[in-house]
Chains A and B, each alone.
Chain A
Amino acid sequence: MCGNAKKIGFVLMLTLLLIWPLQKGSFAKIPAGIPCSSCHTMHYSQNGGVLEEWGKHGPYKALVINDCIGCHTGNNDGTNFTPYVTSTSPPNYGETGTEGNTLAGGSFYWVSIGEEKKGHNVVPFPPDSRFGNTPPGGPGLTSQLTCAGTTGCHGDRNKEGDFEALLGAHHADDSTIDGQTVGTSYRFLKGILGYEDSDWEYQPDASHHNQYKGTDRSSEAQVNTTTISYLCAECHGFFHSGDGISGQSTGWGSPWLRHPTDYDMSNTASGSEYRAYPGNYAAPRSTGINPYSVIAPLGSEDVSAPKTNILFQGQDAIVTCISCHRAHGSPYNAILRWDYYGWPQTTTKNGCNACHTNKD
């Protein structure tokens, strides 16, 4: 009996260890149980050749089978363990990127086919023909935008090269997102905090979504280096951190010179249109007053869990850059989350109205 009990206990423990990492909120970025060969190859050779699923420009650093874009190209279906950020065929974005098969960052698909206004122009896609390597609102980069590295968004920007900047991050224990390392930063965006939805917002709803880090600023000069908007500002500075955001001679508030970010709408008057957030854009399966919107998401200072409702009691109604934009790409100009340019002629969906509720 004692021996059987030990065996049963051992099997149960083994099972738990195998299954646990696959559950939502899993520890490591690469789930346990995934064979190493899914990502790595020892010799970039198999039976004297290169496998069909490998990249064709190897060998690659870190013995991986492809580069960033190569590994992250595919069609999301809600079960894939690799988040696909682009695809070789048009993804199903829908009107707002929340009901099809794209993820929180959107997709590089459109920029990959030459529609340069619809995505961040990362290598290997062509640089922007109009702006070159100068991000609007910021100084020029030393070279074209990359996924990671000195001119990238992900990883350690003190290190040159995608692989060097991300080294080890995919295997890091990220049970706590503290921003201390690349692996423990929100989506490997070094220093940035946030709550990571386990399926990267594949068809998100009120209780399943990323929770973006924001801060309730009280001045233009105030900087919180852990917010998602700060990440954007590292390249697009004027749009977030410049001294031309608020038109007030002193203080921080309307009239805005530029659309504010890291601004908490809890600071608006109690009867203002902003207090009716999200207007007609409540997330699926939402309940109650002021439900979260996955179409025009708001950030918060507390990112320990996804917010289902915005309480407007401070620090949870924060406008972020990605309240309006997708990080990677979208079918719309300026990487907007919805067809802003077409509204109100060609579409009635305008996420601006999630906050500007009187302008619907």
Chain B
Amino acid sequence: MRVILIKINTMGLIGLFIALLSLHAGLCFAGSYTDSAHGSATYGVKRSSLSEYARGNCGHCHLQHGSLGDSLAGPFPFALFAENFNTIAETAPYNDSDNDNICFLCHGPSSLQQGGITNYDYSKTFGGDSTSNVSSILEVFNLKKSNLSASYHNLKDIYDFALTQNWPFFKEKSNPCVACHNPHLAKLIRINQTNPAAYTAVSLPIVKNIGNSQENHETLWGDGPGETMNDFYPNHYQAPLYYGSQNTYEPGGTSDYKGTKLPDYATFCTACHNSSNVIYSSELGRTLRKIDWYTIGGDTVNTDPLPDKHGKNSATVKVNLREPYENTLLGINIDFVTSCTDCHEPHGSPRPFLLRTVVNGKIIPSFNIDDNSLGYFCMACHKDDKALGRATQENVWEYVHHYDEDAPYPKKHGDQGRCGWCHGQHNRPIACIKCHQHGMKDTWAPDTEESGRICF
């Protein structure tokens, strides 16, 4: 035993020595800036007016001395060439001419970048099409200029919220875009529609341990092991269909149906939009609904907020879903999890609540958030009565709610007078969001009618 032990120790020492040698030989401080969209020597930053600087060079964004040549404009925080973010710009529309946000000087229709930058919205880039007709980030934030129903991720709200979080990277002079993106790391995701995980543009604002590695704002999110939607809840994420297709999926229209190339946007978005953070929306004039995307337990859970069934929580009996969910290769028929990006745009949308214009491969017609026309949105994944062969018109949900085997409000003979308790005197359809919002039960319904089910 002793001899063997000595041998092991000797072998161990030799191994350690070799390992140390290897470590020394391989010691290389390779950052990721030159792999990023901004730092690439091939397609990185290149302001048209700065011919002397190579593409990807720091000088396109940063002026080391707060001046450029004989111009002493500025100086601006982080030695940027313009104001980082103008906190006076509390709501959209944002301006590129007034330097509301330095990012928009390049990511806008009047881009300073040589050749300009085309950024379509998520629906078009990864879903295949969109009806928003925008081609830059600034335009998508400013959709409200032409469409009162439009919504956007209010940058001042993000800024205010970020400051309360004491994230080490976010300072008083920071740009709210930085809450989601690390400009020195973010990759060129827009031209890598089929594999956005490998070319992810987001970084977590919080610290998260994945195995032995730590993810934070100094790392990219989505590109490593354990960072895709499939990893969020293995074999429970069914990717939605790609626009116009019956057998290819988001992102990018490939045969990958499990989200193995989609960044784990559930984890990413819930870094802020979670069950505890209080986030004020100046657009809505209220705090946002808290979201629990993690807790399971079906309808038996009674936490605050209630865990979403679009998250890891699940319907308890059945749900009438369209393809690709109905016959998914995942081998499940309930208990799916969705990615936030399956329904929401990250920056802005012509629809309310940043809801997408193309969902599950279908263009969604305009809808109002405060009536049942929102059902057209839900129909992208959920079967309405027509899809179930129970109605001739679209966006009718009577069978689902009252007659299906798992209907929450089963109709009985002699109930006619009871309809008005929920549907009112004229027996009108009920606006979906009365019950179907993040973390909601049907507490809107009269006490006698409440099913007690979690409705989202």
A positions within 8 Å CB-CB of B? 130-131, 136-137, 238-239, 244, 247, 249, 254-259, 269, 273, 276, 279-280, 324, 333, 340-346, 352-353, 356-360
In the complex, A254→B52 CA distance in Å? Answer: 27
In the complex, A299→B41 CA distance in Å? Answer: 32
User: What 10 pairs between A and B have smallest CB-CB spacing?
Assistant: A345-B54, A279-B29, A257-B75, A255-B77, A247-B77, A359-B33, A358-B31, A360-B31, A258-B66, A259-B64
In the complex, A279→B28 CA distance in Å? Answer: 7
Contact A344 B76 (CB under 8 A): no
B positions within 8 Å CB-CB of A? 28-34, 39-41, 44, 52-59, 63-67, 69-70, 72, 74-79, 168, 171-174, 184, 218
Smallest Cβ-Cβ distance to A352: which chain B residue = B58
Contacts of B57 in A (CB 8 A): 340-341, 343-345
Contacts of B78 in A (CB 8 A): 247, 254-256
In the complex, A238→B31 CA distance in Å? Answer: 31
In the complex, A343→B358 CA distance in Å? Answer: 41
B70 to chain A, nearest CB (A): 6
Smallest Cβ-Cβ distance to A345: which chain B residue = B54
If A247-B77, A257-B77, A359-B33 touch, does A280 touch B28 (CB 8 Å cutoff)?
A: yes
Contacts of B55 in A (CB 8 A): 345
Contacts of A249 in B (CB 8 A): 172
Contacts of B69 in A (CB 8 A): 130
Contacts of B79 in A (CB 8 A): 256-259
Contacts of A279 in B (CB 8 A): 29
Q: B29's contact among A254, A255, A280, by CB below 8 Å, is which?
A: A280
Q: Count A-B pairs with CB separation below 8 Å.
A: 103
Contacts of A342 in B (CB 8 A): 54
Contact A257 B66 (CB under 8 A): yes
Contacts of B40 in A (CB 8 A): 344
For the residues of A in contact with B, the DSSP-based class is loop
Contact A259 B65 (CB under 8 A): yes
In the complex, A66→B168 CA distance in Å? Answer: 58
Contact A276 B173 (CB under 8 A): no
Q: B65's contact among A137, A269, A357, by CB below 8 Å, is which?
A: A137
Contacts of B173 in A (CB 8 A): 247, 255
In the complex, A341→B64 CA distance in Å? Answer: 12
In the complex, A264→B74 CA distance in Å? Answer: 24
Contact B70 A359 (CB under 8 A): no
If A130-B70, A357-B29, A360-B30 touch, does A341 touch B77 (CB 8 Å cutoff)?
A: no
In the complex, A254→B77 CA distance in Å? Answer: 8
In the complex, A83→B145 CA distance in Å? Answer: 66
Contacts of B67 in A (CB 8 A): 136-137, 238
In the complex, A331→B194 CA distance in Å? Answer: 44
Most interface-central of B31, B58, B69, B77 (chain A CB within 10 A): B31
Most interface-central of B29, B72, B75 (chain A CB within 10 A): B29
If A136-B70, A343-B54, A344-B54 touch, does A358 touch B75 (CB 8 Å cutoff)?
A: no
Contacts of B65 in A (CB 8 A): 136-137, 238-239, 258-259
